[in-house]
Structure 1
Amino acid sequence: MLLQTEPLDTLFFRNGKPFNRGENNWGESLFPPYPSVFYGALRTAFFAQNPQYFPLAGTSDDPTSSLRIRGMFLKAWGDSYYFPLPRDLIQEKNAGDNCAFPLQLLDTPSLSNCSLPKVLASPPDLIAETIGDGWIDQVTLSEYLANSSKQFYFSDLKDFVTEEAKIGIKLTPGRSAEDQMLYRAGMLRLSPRQDKGKAHQECSFIIDYEGINLPEQGFLKLGGEGKATHYKHIHELDKNSLIPAYSAPKHQVFKIYLLTPAILNNGWLPDWINPDTFFGHYQGLKVKLLTAALGKHLFIGGFDIKKRKPKPMHRAVPAGSVYYFELLEGEAEKVKEVFHYQPFENTPYAMEGYGIGLVGGMDE
């Protein structure tokens, strides 16, 4: 089922940095929110509609245990959908435009501390720099996955959200202000900049989920402070129209682009890859990991409403990261079945929407 959620106010999504007295009085907000934010919001909405089941939360009889987030998409400017920029794309330094180029896949030099057989390098005639918080539209992502273009235009994060500072103070249980507990927080308003020549329309999220039944429309409490967002189910939109089409690899080399952050059992590696040889067997396929383009790891936690305490913190691979593989055994169509719009690793976190991958092709 597809659900669209639109904010009614500013939103706040905490990152993993400390926000304690004496350490930091500025609360930073991240964007986009992690998939678990929507997973928790949908569970909360279900229990709000069915309070008689709340005592079963977290037990073997939990009616939300089959809830699964299959994907999340940013919608902006009418019917345009946007995705995190792949991390194997770079831009020319001081170019002045938002045009990205792919890194080149090369053999690892003999004198290198890289244990993988391949490395990603910028073209020799290009002074390159990495891109922070880039986003590409659906058409551009399709071209990237199909390997049908060598340049990709992207948007900046500030084109979608506007940060608004909020000043507050911690309150005592009696609702009076505590001394020396003043703080500031960066609230996010999901609204495109007007100087971009776009019609005024706030951004929204499309969530692909299954496993529970919710009313056709209602409200979700999203992020810090439980800000309200209005949701409605979308029946006229086919989710296959949101997912870039799969193009079978022309050669034995393919890549997996992470649509959402991935919490993996072995850090940056899925547990089905041997960390010494980088060979792996997964659901009838034999592959070899050639290289990867990873961003800085994330710290992902959360809050357990029933236990009323924070959840354990986990390190995660950020969205947009790309893994390059060589297919050694198996058919190209099997690659689609196993990896395209599927979890990169079958963990409990995959149910919350972490580690959803899309398959892309490569030149020989």
Structure 2
Amino acid sequence: MTRRFDRIFAFRPVDTLFFRSGRPFNQSDPGAAEAESLFPPNPPTLVGAVRNALAQALEGPRGGRWSETTAGLLNGGHLRFGAPFLVLNGERLYPAPAALLRLEDENLARARPGAVIETDLGPTCLPELPEKSKMLTDAWLTAGGMIRFLAGQVPAEGDLRLTACLWKSEPRIGIGRDVATRRVEEGALYAPVHIRPAEGLEICVRVQATDPRVAERLAGLDGLPGTVALGGEHRAAGLRDLAPDGITEATEPPGAGAVVVATGPVIAKPAMLTPGRALGRSGGRIRMVCARKPGMIGGWDDQGRRPHPMRPVLPAGTTWFLDGATGTPGPLGPRHRWGFGDCLSGILHDDKAS
């Protein structure tokens, strides 16, 4: 019987971490010598770390390029990577949907599609918002909280995990040094801002082999490296792998499709933000979108020794409200085999709760 390869790789930081964004980090550019770290990291960072760990398990610790056999296994499109996600002491966390609001009295509420009105953008569906409410940007949801949101309910306060309790920003000062003289280069002073995760916080990614031959080869691996380099400055992180059923996931309710929440970054396309356009394969058409500020994502090609081109991305938590959906849309946008476009679907409201 052919074995399957479906594992979660969990990275637990040894110290601080640093994940670059697409912003320049050049001392000569005014204001560009300070760089804040992204967190959680974008998919290419974890994809590269997992593939390097698998390569070490296949070939043993070594420098330089992978062998042709290993490159064929890991570069041939035989693996499917999920979006990065956080786990705190065994509990999976989800980015708060952009349609989840904080009221003035600190209670939670949901944005809902309002009536279509004429605006400078044309006929547009604007959200119905409670007075003195704002988008929830400083918290994450537990699996139970996400299940409640997808079921059309408002999560409870106990379903939240505040960002401030998950990690802290830690400014550092760095210098540029001449390799030959070992002296500091003139003006080469940098201020990266590292991330110090809370005790028990892990950065995870699910990896599946889609080719039976590759699955058979990887399922027989023994001896993943216990510590790997992760992110910028080759910071150290412990590595373990576990079965997917070892972590409780949010599930979609019956009849899901009217509300879609991105659980990871989505490579942006204009049609994804255009009312009336179809989203995914559900047959649903966009009525309204709640989204935080888009970003730009690049990355580094270790084998090609060159940067990936920059692309605009919609952040995790982006929420779509659809009309006429007959099912879930599936992964959104391109590169969904490489950690982009993961989403969950739900219903607009729970009639029993209202």
Q: TM-score, normalized by length of structure 1?
A: 0.80
Change (3 A) 1:208 1:254: same
Asked whether 1:100 is paired with 2:108, we answer yes
Structure-to-structure mapping, 1:307-326, within 5 angstroms: 307-326=304-323
Which residue, 259, 280, 294 being the options, matches 1:255? 259
Taking the aligned partners of 1:215 and 1:227, their CA distance within structure 2 comes to 24
Residue of structure 1 in register with 2:338 after alignment? 352
Taking the aligned partners of 2:170 and 2:112, their CA distance within structure 1 comes to 39
Deviation at 1:190, TM superposition (A): 0.8
Taking the aligned partners of 1:87 and 1:137, their CA distance within structure 2 comes to 15
Change (3 A) 1:116 1:142: farther
Residue of structure 1 in register with 2:3 after alignment? none
Residue of structure 1 in register with 2:94 after alignment? 83
Q: Structure 1: which 5+ runs fail to align?
A: 192-200
Taking the aligned partners of 1:57 and 1:173, their CA distance within structure 2 comes to 36
Residue of structure 1 in register with 2:17 after alignment? 11
Deviation at 1:42, TM superposition (A): 1.1
Change (3 A) 1:37 1:2: same
* DSSP 3-state at the match of 1:269: helix
Deviation at 1:280, TM superposition (A): 2.9
Is the CA contact (8 Å cut-off) linking 1:71 and 1:208 kept in structure 2? yes
Is the CA contact (8 Å cut-off) linking 1:168 and 1:184 kept in structure 2? yes
Is the CA contact (8 Å cut-off) linking 1:268 and 1:316 kept in structure 2? no
Deviation at 1:119, TM superposition (A): 2.2
Q: Structure 2: which 5+ runs fail to align?
A: 1-6
Change (3 A) 1:291 1:64: same
Structure-to-structure mapping, 1:1-364, within 5 angstroms: 1-23=7-29, 24-49=32-57, 50=59, 54=66, 56=68, 61=72, 63-65=74-76, 66-76=78-88, 78-93=89-104, 95=105, 97=106, 99-109=107-117, 111-115=118-122, 118-123=125-130, 126-149=131-154, 154-174=160-180, 175-191=182-198, 201-211=199-209, 213=218, 215-218=222-225, 219-235=227-243, 238=245, 242-249=248-255, 254-264=258-268, 266-267=269-270, 269=272, 278-280=276-278, 283=281, 285-327=282-324, 330=326, 335-336=327-328, 338-339=329-330, 343-345=331-333, 347=334, 349-363=335-349
Deviation at 1:320, TM superposition (A): 0.3
Deviation at 1:132, TM superposition (A): 2.5
Deviation at 1:102, TM superposition (A): 0.4
Deviation at 1:56, TM superposition (A): 4.2
Change (3 A) 1:137 1:216: farther
Change (3 A) 1:301 1:281: closer
One-letter identity of the residue aligned with 2:151? A
* DSSP 3-state at the match of 2:266: coil
Is the CA contact (8 Å cut-off) linking 1:254 and 1:324 kept in structure 2? yes
Taking the aligned partners of 2:161 and 2:86, their CA distance within structure 1 comes to 13
Is the CA contact (8 Å cut-off) linking 2:113 and 2:321 kept in structure 1? no
One-letter identity of the residue aligned with 1:30? L
Deviation at 1:165, TM superposition (A): 1.8
One-letter identity of the residue aligned with 1:41? A
Q: Deviations over 1:66-125 (max 9, x none)?
A: 22212433111x2322111100112124x4x4x42101211122x3134465321212xx
One-letter identity of the residue aligned with 2:75? T
Is the CA contact (8 Å cut-off) linking 1:47 and 1:53 kept in structure 2? no
Deviation at 1:53, TM superposition (A): 6.9
Q: TM-score, normalized by length of structure 2?
A: 0.82
* DSSP 3-state at the match of 1:31: coil
Residue of structure 2 in register with 1:196 after alignment? none
For these two proteins, the number of residue pairs brought into alignment is 325
Q: Deviations over 1:284-306 (max 9, x none)?
A: x4221111111111110011222
Change (3 A) 1:71 1:21: closer
Deviation at 1:57, TM superposition (A): 9.5
Change (3 A) 1:62 1:115: farther
One-letter identity of the residue aligned with 2:136? I
Is the CA contact (8 Å cut-off) linking 1:257 and 1:359 kept in structure 2? yes
Taking the aligned partners of 2:162 and 2:122, their CA distance within structure 1 comes to 33
Is the CA contact (8 Å cut-off) linking 1:35 and 1:353 kept in structure 2? yes
- The percent of aligned pairs where both chains have the same amino acid is 21
Is the CA contact (8 Å cut-off) linking 1:260 and 1:320 kept in structure 2? yes
Deviation at 1:58, TM superposition (A): 11
Is the CA contact (8 Å cut-off) linking 2:294 and 2:313 kept in structure 1? yes
